[in-house]
Amino acid sequence: MKKIERGMAFVDEKMDIFKCPVCGESFEKIVGRSVNCLKGHQFDFSKKGTLYFLKHGVKSDYDDAKMWQARRSVLRAGLFKPIIDEITDQLPKNKSLRIVDAGCGEGSTLKYVEEQRANKQDAYVGFDISKRAINLATQDEGAGFFCIADLAQLPFASASFDVILDMFSPSAYEEFDRILKSEGFLFKIIPNENYLIELRHMLYKKNDSHYSYSNDKVLSLFKKHYPHANVKKITYEFSLSNTSFENLLYMTPLHWGAAAEKIDAALEKGLEKITIDVLLLTIENN
């Protein structure tokens, strides 16, 4: 089955997941290679089987082919495996789930969750504002459906997902609350102060604002919305033996503000391992 046919089949079978980002109405039917809402707004499937839901163009530093390729290499080597394993361990084992990855990037997280939950008949949706990332995500032969969408105005129906994954991405909590089912799960990952600290200290001087990191503002905002959330610290060292230090360097925005000579020096020196230090924030929608 071609990618466009696979994408169209997913939307046709699970049309109740979606809503029109223009008028808010439900999707009604697929005509030709487009899906129409009840008021006639039309969205065309790309050759890769994706849908473009943005109502206006978006410029983003994240729409960088080299960064996404580097990120795929490091994630496929297992950079976040212990984190995702912790998440999948918490998911119900006895029923099929509808799972959405908010800010899914090039799709590695969603693909790994699918592999961990083989034969569960789950439905997987990933969205991002980066067209390059979404196009890369479609290169996998997984079951996931991918689209380009605005976090602040999601093209999904209310109470349409059992699980929301948010790995290091921005959040729109009102929208998350709207699309999450009763008894559904929201998992948000945020970095701690020692996340990638070796790389941070290689690229910046002590008096630079990027030399250290605090998640106080992000954590406070999350707790404001979800005061009873579960907070779990996950810390480990990751060996770079199955990928390259260069990929690690270019997968993260840390290199954006670094001086060229610092980047060159870091590439020459390299690292054998890196610290992963995050918080897993979990809420169950009761």
Which positions make up the binding site for S-adenosyl-L-methionine?
Answer: 80, 106-107, 195
Q: What span, in angstroms and rounded, lies between the C-alpha atoms of 107 and 84?
A: 13
Q: Which two tokens stand for residue 116?
A: 């961990």
Q: Please report where in the chains the tokens 């089955």 appear, as a residue.
A: 1
How much of the chain is in helix, strand and coil states, percent to nearest 5? 35, 25, 40
Q: What span, in angstroms and rounded, lies between the C-alpha atoms of 1 and 27?
A: 23
Q: Which two tokens stand for residue 155?
A: 């093209």
DSSP assignment letter at 122: -
Q: What span, in angstroms and rounded, lies between the C-alpha atoms of 156 and 204?
A: 41
Q: Which two tokens stand for residue 163?
A: 């699980």
Q: Please report where in the chains the tokens 């997987």 appear, as a residue.
A: 124
SS3 per-residue string spanning 158-192: CCCEEEEEEECCCCCHHHHHHHEEEEEEEEEEEEC
Q: Which two tokens stand for residue 9?
A: 């089949």
Which SS3 state, helix, strand or coil, does residue 19 take?
Answer: strand
With vertex at residue 19, the alpha carbon angle to CA 150 and CA 27, rounded to the nearest 5 degrees, is 135
Q: Which two tokens stand for residue 26?
A: 């439900």
Binding site for Zn(2+), residues?
20, 23, 37, 41
Strands (E), the chain: 27-31, 34-37, 42-44, 51-52, 98-102, 123-128, 145-148, 161-167, 180-191, 230-239, 273-284
Binding site, residues?
20, 23, 37, 41, 80, 106-107, 195
